[in-house]
Amino acid sequence: MSKRIAFFDSGLGGLTVLSKAMDELPNEDFLFFADTLHVPYGVKKTEDVKRFIHQSIETIVKEDVKAVVIACNTATSLAITELRDKYEIPVIGMEPAVKPAVEINRPTGKRVLVFATAITLKESKYIDLVRRVDDINIVDSLPLPELVEFCEALNFDNNVINDYFLKKLENYDLNEYGTVVLGCTHYPFYKRFLMKLLPKHIQIVDGSKGTIKRLTQILNANSICNLSGKHDVKFLCSNHSEEYLRKMKTALDIFRDIT
Ligand code: DGL
């Protein structure tokens, strides 16, 4: 039997990346692992989070998977290099889609607003990325920690979410912006709220498409594609909670329904 492709996140966010993979790779089987013992990552101490990431990936590789997608911008920014050095199987990471966003806005000079976790925004991987691609100084960044909490609670209440975004964005002149980057994999669960709230000219981008494109290239290059998979998803979580396993399935269904 061909092996599964693993997806890893602190919690439910990585499902937004898994969903893209399910669309693009219909003959593969998947494993989704959430580090429920430690979610959320984005507001914790970096040294602790690094340890949680390594523990999680050790559990995942015991499942004999053929590749691991780090479906978490925070984990990628903290550990991708070490993980690639440590494991022989391909490890695919993700980063906020700042480069395409800057290019979209280069002709108009409109600004880019990147939403991501506090850890992602303060790590050198992100700071170097912005320094490299934003030569016209149009990128602003904003952490949205409560959005991860809302997502983990499957809170999609219109009033709560709209009020939250309005408060967070009250000091921004949104007409100055051309693109919003969702740089945390939990945030695409709330894209439809943002679409209603933001001025119509603002594009919303995330890193899922690029990540799955890269995964596909790597599967092909290593000749490890599955031609007979059943699109099966095995769910695991670090606290072994049956309730959370059910919640993951529900969240995946919700996300696939709204996209
Ligand atoms: N979903 C994760 C990310 O893409 C992390 C969210 C969290 O645990 O704070 O950054």
Q: 219-244, pLDDT tens digit by residue?
A: 999 999 998 988 899 999 999 999 99
Say whether both 185 and 250 belong to one domain: no
Say whether both 20 and 145 belong to one domain: no
**Mutation pick for ligand 1 pocket among 15, 19, 41 (CB with most ligand atoms within 8 Å):** 41
CA of 229 to the centre of ligand 1 (A): 29
Angle at 19 between CA 148 and CA 45, to 5 degrees: 30
Domains: count for the chain: 2
The 3-state secondary structure of 40-85, one letter per residue: CCCCCCHHHHHHHHHHHHHHHHCCCCCEEEECCHHHHHHHHHHHHH
Say whether both 176 and 83 belong to one domain: no
Say whether both 122 and 198 belong to one domain: yes
Say whether both 143 and 238 belong to one domain: no
Say whether both 215 and 254 belong to one domain: yes
Ligand 1, closest atom to CA 39? 8
Q: Is 184 in the pocket of ligand 1 (CB under 6 A)?
A: yes
151 has catalytic annotation: no
Q: Is 188 in the pocket of ligand 1 (CB under 6 A)?
A: no
72 has catalytic annotation: yes
CA of 72 to the centre of ligand 1 (A): 5
Say whether both 105 and 173 belong to one domain: yes
d(CA 124, CA 60): 27
Burial class (CB in 10 A: 0-12, 13-18, 19+), 48: exposed
pLDDT digit string (tens) for 2-39?
899 999 999 999 999 999 999 999 999 999 999 999 99
Say whether both 159 and 249 belong to one domain: no
pLDDT digit string (tens) for 99-134?
999 999 999 999 999 999 999 999 999 999 999 999
Q: Is 178 in the pocket of ligand 1 (CB under 6 A)?
A: no
Say whether both 75 and 133 belong to one domain: no
Q: Which of 206, 226, 247 is the last residue of a domain?
A: 206
**Mutation pick for ligand 1 pocket among 48, 186, 248 (CB with most ligand atoms within 8 Å):** 186
Q: Which of 172, 189, 206 is the last residue of a domain?
A: 206
Ligand 1, closest atom to CA 72? 4
pLDDT of residue 1: 55
pLDDT at 177 over 90: yes
Range of 104's domain? Answer: 98-206
d(CA 35, CA 41): 9
CA of 228 to the centre of ligand 1 (A): 32
pLDDT digit string (tens) for 146-163?
999 999 999 999 999 999
Say whether both 23 and 103 belong to one domain: no
Residues that constitute the known binding site for substrate: 9-10, 41-42, 73-74, 185-186
Say whether both 108 and 196 belong to one domain: yes
Q: How far is CA 103 from the centre of its chain?
A: 21
CA of 233 to the centre of ligand 1 (A): 21
Q: 């780090």: which residue's tokens?
A: 70
**Mutation pick for ligand 1 pocket among 7, 9, 190 (CB with most ligand atoms within 8 Å):** 9
Q: 């498409």: which residue's tokens?
A: 209
Ligand 1, closest atom to CA 71? 4
CA of 193 to the centre of ligand 1 (A): 19
Say whether both 17 and 63 belong to one domain: yes
pLDDT digit string (tens) for 49-104?
999 999 999 999 999 999 999 999 999 999 999 999 999 999 999 999 999 999 99
| CATH number of the domain bearing residue 182 | 3.40.50.1860
